Structure 1
Amino acid sequence: MATIKEIAEAAGLSIATVSRVLSNSNYPVSDDTRARILKVAQELGYSPNLAARSLRTDQSSLIGVILDNFSSTWAPIIIRGLQDVLHSRGYFSMVVNIPWQIYSQSDVVQNLLGHSVDGFVFVETWHPVGEHLGLLNEKPYVTVHRLFHEPDPFSVIPDDVYNSTLTIDHLIQLDHQRIAYIAGHEEYFSSEERLTGYKQSLANVGLPVEQDLIFRGDWSITSGYQNSQRIFALANRPTAIAAANDQMAYGAILAAQDAGLRVPEDIAIVGYDNDEIAQVSNPTITTVQMPLFKMGRIAAENLLNRIHGKEHVATEQLIKGDLFIRQSSGDPAGADIRAHDYTRDSNIPDSQRTRR
């Protein structure tokens, strides 16, 4: 295993500088120098003695990542963003899933504190962290994509209001005047924010918000299908449906097809999330990509800034997503976009991305 002296010689830097980087010291070192040292250390197979470092610096370079549901579609992408930053800065993460009960969160936090973690990241949690700050033993924390309604000063969340307006504004630009909306479960914070975006877009152009055009689903394909049947039974059928997620949008497409309606010629349909089903359905679904990977990266940077005592404004950060125009909305610019990896911005061709 390489020593700090060998890494310093290979990088052409002083032992002191290499030691500061590898020990995550607060001493200022340029990003280029830090990246160079970490690259050389990796190439030489350097493995730090974390236990010794923890005793020496009172820092373990470990971050506790707590999430409510390992099976979540979005949590792995968020965690990839977190680890992308943490690894580049010499940190490791311990990812733990907790069941619903609040006492379990307390147990998990205590166990992670026993491993001397330097901070916490709560991913897609239902439990308001602010109510249990005493559990954290004054360790810094951030939350990513919170599911609870109460605002959190150290939270990174998608700008669901803005992102929802992307799809509704798109339909309005295609001259749709009566747009039905299938909302998600009202217990979800994101569901109410997306509904607010729908209402905001209509109000911005002077279109009325018709309560009989707002339906409540539960995020499932079945609820999208059933609510769309109700929409198609209206005497004055709308010309477009916006769903709060892609699963319900897909259900709407199936209901339209079973009713003998053509999508998008007879009814335009848009979704939200850029789930895989939106990319492979027939027709493909116009939708909004949640900036999950970016949210994970920003959350990691915010946490490391707090750990190292850098100034951080205690306010939620709202991250904007991207509109993907596909076949289901009937826009001439729409494309038949099949499955791709959209977790990194660099993987999204400019020709397939629409920003406002």
Structure 2
Amino acid sequence: MTALTIGIVGCGRAARIHSRRLRDIEAVRITGCVDPEVEAARALASELIGSGGDPASIQAFSDHQQLLADTPPDVLAIFTPPRAHYRPAMDGLQAGCHLFIEKPLSTNTQEAVDIVNLARGRDRVVGVGHQFRLAPSLIEARRLLAEGAIGRLRLVMAVMANSWLATQRGPEGNAWRVDPKVSGGGIIADDGDHLLDALVWTTDRSVAEVSAFQDREEPGLDIVNAITLRLVDGTPATLAITGASPGSLFEITYFGEVGTLRANASSLRLAGADPEAPVQDLPLHSNQTSIDGDFIDAIRSGRPPCCSAEQAIETVRLQEAIARSAASGQIIRLASGDEVL
């Protein structure tokens, strides 16, 4: 098997998690680490090399263009703050690289479309880190919804709560998330887009209208979001997302005409129309594939990754619409891929 070489751009916490998975995949070799703080790039490179490794086997750079010029990899894996996804993505594609981009794909729709169009022109694979698509409970929920197991879908309710806000301000926190004007950060970009993508993917429906309310802290960080969506078939959906919770919770409930599905990180429950009937805990197939392993397999096999850049555009559009609705107090309508007031 021919080895794939990988360059890492952005060397924070997310890069550490993903790069360890990538390093452990057969015939994958990380050759460079990039971060504006070059010491962060050197630190990650040192961790990945480990004891006894050749210090020169993974080079450290302060700029991704240095990496592309000196040791161009087969794959560029981008783990920078969201606003800094676009330039390395476009430069990487121009250099002939496949791309793995931590979600969200970008912070605005035009940049996302640019990345998709250039990838098509260069015949490159672009995968986006929407890893909820690999959760066994959501895979099974998507299958059952497509089969009509709960009848016509009438309502979807989703919630995500965690202690995200507190963790960003401690010594191990990621400061870029606290200044959305600089980074594009916030609870929607960091965690909420997982929920948005999961809702759209499991129902296999795009969104027609968005209405959103946000509770913010200086300098504009969104920490609590209450969002109402109307899917293209008219089905309403509600999302509640907060980073100001003492604990963690993720759950999506699908209400149909003949039953209800309730999915969380580890289980899927089915309730029938008869309130006296017992709730069923549905069996789930274990999924050992990581989002990183899926992406590498997509390159090698020629199949699409579990979340392609084309699919990830929908979540970028939704994030833009949520921000506009929260700022204006208006319903934002989305039609044929374009937002229309």
Computing the radius of gyration from Cα coordinates, the structure with the larger value is: 1
Higher helix share: 1
TM-score, normalized by the shorter chain, greater than 0.5 = no
The higher relative CO (CA closer than 8 Å, separation ≥ 6) is in 2
TM-score (norm: length of structure 2): 0.37
